[in-house]
Every structure is written in C-alpha cells, then in structure tokens.
Chain A
C-alpha cells in the first residue's frame, strides 16, 4: 500500500454494543469530499462520529483503524486527532464574546495578540460577519451562530471535519445556504468530511458517496 494515502481512511470499522454488532464501515474519504452516513435515530450514526473523534461512550466497543493522510490516529486522545466537530447546536461558549470563541480556537502558533485578533477578524469577514467580534453569542441569530461555529472550527486548523446533523436546527432557506458554505469551505481547504444525517437533502447537497446503516439492505 502506498505510504501516504491522502484523506481519511476508515478500515474495517465495526462498532458493537454488548456483543451485538451495531454497524460496520470500510471507506475512504478523499480530501475535499464528503462521506454521508444515513440512518434512522438509534442506528449508531452519532456513535460512529464519537469513535472517529475519540469520544466513544463506554457502553460500546469498536475495532478497525482510522488513518488521516496515512497516520493512524485510532489510539490518539481526542485533542490530538485534529477532528473539527460541528453539531446541531452551535455550542458557542456563552461566557466568551464571538472574538473570544474564535481566539480560543486559533492555534497558539499565531503568537502576538494583534496577529491573533487579525486572523479572527479575517475569519469573520470570510463568513460575512465583519465587526461581530465584540458581540455576545446570545445576541446572534441562528444562522449567524452557525457561521461563527464553522469559523471557530476552521480556525483550529482541523485535518478533517465531523458533522453531526449540523443543519437540522436551521430554517429551510438558511439550511441550503449553510450547506453551501460548509461544503465549499471544506473543498477550498481540501478537508475530508464525514456527515451523519437523516435528511436526504443533506446527502444530495454533499454530492458524495452515501452509506446507509441501520436499515435492511
């Protein structure tokens, strides 16, 4: 096998709950593409994301390997994997301003305070949120919060993205806009993406391979 398979490699992953097999996946997610995992609630979609991100709940056991750009990260702690997470809720920290949330995500390699704030401002501008830095998360609309959450995740310079039904809480018109934004940003940065959802429209917009779990084949 080639030394460096780029993208996210999911090799013979199997997740079990009390010896009962919950799901099995073997897939390769190329940089800039989206793998959509679909299934009804309770099918173990979120459990799969937990495994990839390093947060598998104690009730489950898993086998298989996860590699990113050839590096095996299966045994790494969550904070060392470089997984960027987006959830249904934006989960902005309520005790920090928008700027504080972004600075928190920016890696410490950007050193001076001025440079850090400039990078955060830049990210806000890209999300069409120029000048929102001092605002408090509570004062933002749902769509604005989702964009800050995306900016925050991207600023942390993740190696891949894990999306847990990130659009389901948004209104229909906003949802399409948000999808476009997330997928185009991922493409621009050539990040492999795993998306779990039960919304067919998400899968269509992702325009990549789709795996269905939890339903009879």
Chain B
C-alpha cells in the first residue's frame, strides 16, 4: 500500500513472466505501459488546465469565465476540444505539407518528454538519468525547432516574423536559464533530479532565492507568456507562428503551451521547492505526487498572475533586459555561489544557509540600487525635449536653431 506504483509493476511482472515472456520483453512492455500512463495523466491534467486558466484569467479581469457547461463550467474544455476537432483542417497555399503537419506534434511532444525526468516520489520517476538538468535544456531546444518549423512551413510572413522573434527570444533567454539551473546543480553536486531533491534540506529557494527568481523570469520568457509574448503579439503580427493553424493542429499548439507552463512549474518546484518533499512522505510515498502538484500549481498560479498583470514589452527592451541585465546577474550569482560554497567547507548547515541567503539578498540589494540609478537616467533621457519629425541632419539643426 505504501508504494502502489512499484507494487503494481511487480505484480504485472509476475503475471507476465507467468505467461512465459522473456525478461527483456517484460521490461520493454512495462516501460511502454509506464510512458503511456504518464502521458495520459499529464494530458488529462492538460485538459483541466484549459478550464483553470480561463477561470483564473476571468477572475483577474473581474469576469466570471466559463460557467455554462457543467458545474462551474468544468466541462467547458471538453466542449472546446470537440469544437476544435470538427473544425475544417486548412492547409495554406504554398505550405510545406510535411513540415507543416509535423510541427504541432513536435510542439506537444517536447513538453511531454520533459515529464520523463520529473520525480514524483522517492521511487517514482520516469528515468533517473545523471544528466537530467542538461536533458531539460536539450528538450527545450527541440521545442524551439518546432516553432521555427511551424513558422517557416506556413508560408506566411506573419508566421515567419513570429517564428524569428520567438527563436531570438528563446535562444537569448536560454543563457540565464541554463546558468540559473547550474546553481542547484552546484549545490547538490549532481545533475540527477532525485539527487537534487534529496539534497534539498532546506529547500533551495531559502538558500539561493535569486537563482529561483532568475529561473522563474527566464522560464516565463521561454514560455512566451506576457510580458514576453512578442512571439504572438496580436496587435503586431496577428497570432505569430501558429497563425495558419486551424482545428486540432492549433489545439496541439495550445495544449502544448498550457502544458509547458505546468511542466516548467513542476521543474521549478522540483529544483527549488523540494519536489516531492513534505511531511510523512517517507512513510507514505504516494503523498509525493500530491506535494509536487501542490507546489507546481503554486508556481503556475504565480506565472498566471504575472501574465495577467503586466503589459507586453518591446522586443528591443526584452533582448536588452536579457543581455544587459539578466545574463550578467546570473553569471555573477553563479560565481558568488561557487566561491562561497568552496569557502564554507565544514561549517554547520545553519551557518551555510544563512551566509548563502545573506549573499543573495546582498546581490538583490545591489541590483536594485543599480536598477534605480538606471531608471532615473532613463526617465531623464525619455523626458527630454526632442524633435518629433524625422528630418535630415541639416534640417534638424535648423529646427533646433529656430527654437
């Protein structure tokens, strides 16, 4: 009872070997079964996410949200899926048929692949590989590929523009994200997810809160959500890379986007909020997934909160924010954490955590001062009187001279 997943797997193994199947074949069957079950659970959660997201955005915007289909509108996503399924499937003129069709599959599949390394409980994990953190980065880069394929194959200039913007964004924000991911790796001395979770006493958010914040911000950018949603800025490029997609192909992009948000939340929860750790989880491993999902939904709520509270920023501001601010900050933090970690060999855990936390807060304080100075300069620059019309240099001099 304490560990249902492994006992069920053992039970199935006994039954299958009773049928006279070979050991290797049983392992393959059980692995496939596990993949199918995990993917199904995740996709069912994904359908519910549509409802959660729509209900939450309605609350943030002082509306009621879906409330017609079923109690509290909870059947609404099913109705949405049926609508998407019976819509006409359009292939745009001049589109690259194969790439156009395969891109949405890639978009959803890459998100599903990420769940392979999320540990649900001490004994329940898809694959406890020793390069899990790098694996997350690798799968993220395949997601980029799906977007560029969709944008190019659509044969539409808005789609291509959206894809270009997204890829510039994804490649840029990958840098601070990877550096922020390195911090828990450095503290736990492993890239394996289970080791990182096991090493978290206390949770890393209390040790290196700044790394968690950087990861959170760059993850929002990776997700392409507001304030970083220039990839599908409706007022500029209509819908971005998925402009030409209809019906369930669009549905796959939509599902992938929502699920990506929850997946990233689960990863942040695993890396910084202790994953499956919680009271009594050692006695009852089945509590692990419950804790993990509670934490993941907490992070998901924060992502939604940011999404519906901030306006979109321009692409030059966004790239400038990444290269001039987030990346140097993340690098500086990594160096500081590495030096402190090396310097504090042998000190007690309480001292270690306090010094790390203090260093983090000190960096935050310094950053805020720098930002405030920059904001003052920028306000002054923007507030200056400037010639409005764009004129040749000589005319401009005349204009200024007349005043």
Q: Do A and B bind each other?
A: no
A→B interface (CB under 8 Å): none
Q: Which residues of B contact A (CB under 8 A)?
A: none
